[in-house]
């Protein structure tokens, strides 16, 4: 009877986590994790703590559901997270052609394909990942710098600039490139300030990066939607997806590779993993591209959490894993099956809800327009960031929003805003970290 009660509790927790991730996908995952963490702390203070299996399956289900459902606002409402930045460009093109629902389904199917490749390999991860981690551990510092250099060097001029050679043509070519470098440096400086001299109060330390991520990746797209006069055309639900199984598998495999690399390496996120996988596999077809980015994002978020349950690995990757370790001492051999079950159940629930969620969102976009939806999303972000982190968090979000607007204004990659975590942690892995800390101490 006790076993049945625990199993029922775990199933209910997984379904609730999946519904939370599916019905509020426009929020950043850090916002949702903060809500879950605060709920767990409130229950603990009230003397009724959440059972450990409840927290594990709820977090796993929340991540899996959100990583799939977040595709809807990323494509239809221009509110992407850092893992969906590549999806937005072709997704927005589909949207302006009345094919936004098709872009959503391609990305979601990519996420499902990525999980289908990831989950069966988890039982064998204990044989490969611990020795691989032991080999790579001394080299993570220079690997991270190589990733940063590649990310910056792969930023190319976006257009053809006719005219005679000279300073004006050179300046036009460097307009986007310079904006990308500036975005990376400014976001990196913001990240160093948050790491060494955070303005947030100590009780909000676990939410240190959340206001910056919301400002860098969430608010700028919403602001552009508000000031834009572009009308979203009537959207059509696709009856079928013209995607051969061969192309679906190729996109899912490429995205799963990028997401797995991003989940395993420290600091690297889904956007960077997708960039590396796209170059490594020479992804060209837009459909394959959308599938691969959906797989990369989903494998990154879910895979980073599942690394917590690999016996002998003993590494923590991602905000969800850090939050879970702060609330519960995990036991990899026993808890891994709870996490896998939570992910599998969340995927099933999310796929059942996706048609209704997509129809609802398309109806809201048609009825209210993108600007009103963007205004509502922006108001919700202000309330959540202000409620969770107070005025200092709103200030950090405003600074991040200013930096996040640079790529949109000057046609560079928004991925460069990931300097907020890449630069400070790369410096922290070498001798420069203490120097930077002393330099910031002068202010």
Give the tens place of pLDDT for each residue, 287-327.
Answer: 888 888 888 889 988 988 888 888 888 788 877 777 777 66
pLDDT score at 185: 93
Task: Tell me the two tokens of residue 44.
Answer: 């603990």
Q: Are 301 and 29 in contact (CB under 8 A)?
A: yes
Q: What is the DSSP letter of 5?
A: H
More confident residue, 57 or 9: 57
* Length of the chain in terms of residues written: 443
Per-residue model confidence as pLDDT tens digits over 22-75: 776 666 676 777 777 777 777 767 777 677 778 888 888 888 888 888 888 877
User: What percent of the chain clears pLDDT 90, i.e. is strictly above it?
Assistant: 6
Task: Tell me the two tokens of residue 143.
Answer: 């690997």
Name the residue with tokens 């930077």: 436
Q: What is the chain's mean pLDDT, rounded?
A: 79
Identify each DSSP E strand in 61-160 by its residue range.
none
Query: What average pLDDT does the segment 173-192 reach?
Result: 88
Q: Are 24 and 34 in contact (CB under 8 A)?
A: no
Instruction: Give the list of residues 6+ apart from residue 94 with CB closer than 8 angstroms, or none.
Output: 75, 100, 102, 103
| Res. 279: pLDDT tops 70 | no
Q: Are 269 and 262 in contact (CB under 8 A)?
A: yes
Contacts 24+ apart (CB under 8 A), 311-315: 311/126, 312/126, 312/130, 313/125, 313/126, 313/129, 313/130, 313/133, 315/133
- If one counts every other C-beta atom within 10 angstroms of the C-beta of residue 377, the result is 21
| Res. 400: pLDDT tops 90 | yes
pLDDT score at 184: 93
pLDDT score at 2: 43
| Res. 171: pLDDT tops 90 | no
Report residue 99's pLDDT band, with 50, 70 and 90 as the boundaries. confident
Rg, C-alpha atoms of the chain? 21
CA-CA distance, 388 to 211, in Å (whole number)? 9
Per-residue model confidence as pLDDT tens digits over 187-205: 999 998 888 888 887 666 6
Closest to 93 (Cα-Cα) out of 298, 229, 232, 216 = 232
Highest mean pLDDT among 68-77, 170-179, 183-192, 373-382: 183-192
User: What percent of the chain clears pLDDT 70, i.e. is strictly above it?
Assistant: 81
pLDDT score at 245: 84
Per-residue model confidence as pLDDT tens digits over 218-238: 888 888 878 876 677 777 777
Dihedral sign for Cα atoms in the order 133, 135, 140, 144: negative
Q: At residue 229, what are phi and psi to the nearest 5 degrees?
A: -105, 15
Name the residue with tokens 């991040």: 400
| Res. 363: pLDDT tops 70 | yes
| Res. 252: pLDDT tops 50 | yes
Q: Are 291 and 251 in contact (CB under 8 A)?
A: yes
pLDDT score at 126: 81
CA-CA distance, 120 to 126, in Å (whole number)? 13
Per-residue model confidence as pLDDT tens digits over 329-352: 667 667 778 888 888 888 888 889
| Res. 241: pLDDT tops 50 | yes
Task: Tell me the two tokens of residue 31.
Answer: 């916002």
CA-CA distance, 204 to 185, in Å (whole number)? 25
CA-CA distance, 231 to 218, in Å (whole number)? 21
Instruction: Give the list of residues 6+ apart from residue 224 with CB closer than 8 angstroms, or none.
Output: 78, 408
pLDDT score at 402: 93
Q: Are 81 and 218 in contact (CB under 8 A)?
A: yes
pLDDT score at 277: 66
Report helix, strand or coil for 264: helix
CA-CA distance, 313 to 305, in Å (whole number)? 13
pLDDT score at 4: 40
Query: What average pLDDT does the segment 385-407 reach?
Result: 90
pLDDT score at 389: 84
| Res. 442: pLDDT tops 60 | no
């Amino acid at each position: 009877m006790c076993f049945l009660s625990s199993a029922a509790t775990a199933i209910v927790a997984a379904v609730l986590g999946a519904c939370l991730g599916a019905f509020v996908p426009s929020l950043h995952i850090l916002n949702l994790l903060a809500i879950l963490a605060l709920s767990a702390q409130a229950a603990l203070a009230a003397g009724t703590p959440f059972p450990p299996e409840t927290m594990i399956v709820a977090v796993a289900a929340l991540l899996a559901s959100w990583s799939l459902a977040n595709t809807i606002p990323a494509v239809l409402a221009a509110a992407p997270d850092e893992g969906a930045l590549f999806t937005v460009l072709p997704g927005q093109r589909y949207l302006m052609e009345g094919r936004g629902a098709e872009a959503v389904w391609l990305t979601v199917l990519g996420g499902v394909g990525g999980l289908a490749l990831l989950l069966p390999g988890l039982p064998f991860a204990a044989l490969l990942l611990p020795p691989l981690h032991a080999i790579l551990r001394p080299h993570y510092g220079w690997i991270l710098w190589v990733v940063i250099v590649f990310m910056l060097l792969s930023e190319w001029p976006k257009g053809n600039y006719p005219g005679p050679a000279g300073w004006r043509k050179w300046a036009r070519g460097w307009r986007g490139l310079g904006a990308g470098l500036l975005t990376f440096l400014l976001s990196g400086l913001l990240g160093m300030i948050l790491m060494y001299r955070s303005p947030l109060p100590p009780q909000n330390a676990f939410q240190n990066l959340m206001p910056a991520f919301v400002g860098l990746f969430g608010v700028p797209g919403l602001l552009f939607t508000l000031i834009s006069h572009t009308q979203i055309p009537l959207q059509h639900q696709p009856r079928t997806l013209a995607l051969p199984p061969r192309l679906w598998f190729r996109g899912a495999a490429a995205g799963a590779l990028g997401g797995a690399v991003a989940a395993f390496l420290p600091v690297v996120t889904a956007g960077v993993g997708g960039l590396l996988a796209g170059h490594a596999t020479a992804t060209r077809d837009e459909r394959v591209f959308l599938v691969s980015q959906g797989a990369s994002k989903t494998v990154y978020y879910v895979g980073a959490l599942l690394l917590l349950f690999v016996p002998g690995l003993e590494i923590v990757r991602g905000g969800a894993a850090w939050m879970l370790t702060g609330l519960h001492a995990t036991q990899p051999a026993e808890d891994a099956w709870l996490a896998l079950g939570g992910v599998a159940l969340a995927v099933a629930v999310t796929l059942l809800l996706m048609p209704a969620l997509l129809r609802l969102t398309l109806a809201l976009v048609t009825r209210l327009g993108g600007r009103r939806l963007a205004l509502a999303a922006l108001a919700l972000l202000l309330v959540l960031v202000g409620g969770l982190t107070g005025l200092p968090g709103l200030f950090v979000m405003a600074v991040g929003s200013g930096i996040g607007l640079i790529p949109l204004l000057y046609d560079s990659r928004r991925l460069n805003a990931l300097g907020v975590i890449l630069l400070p942690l790369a410096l922290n892995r070498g001798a420069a970290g203490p120097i930077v800390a002393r330099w910031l101490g002068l202010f």
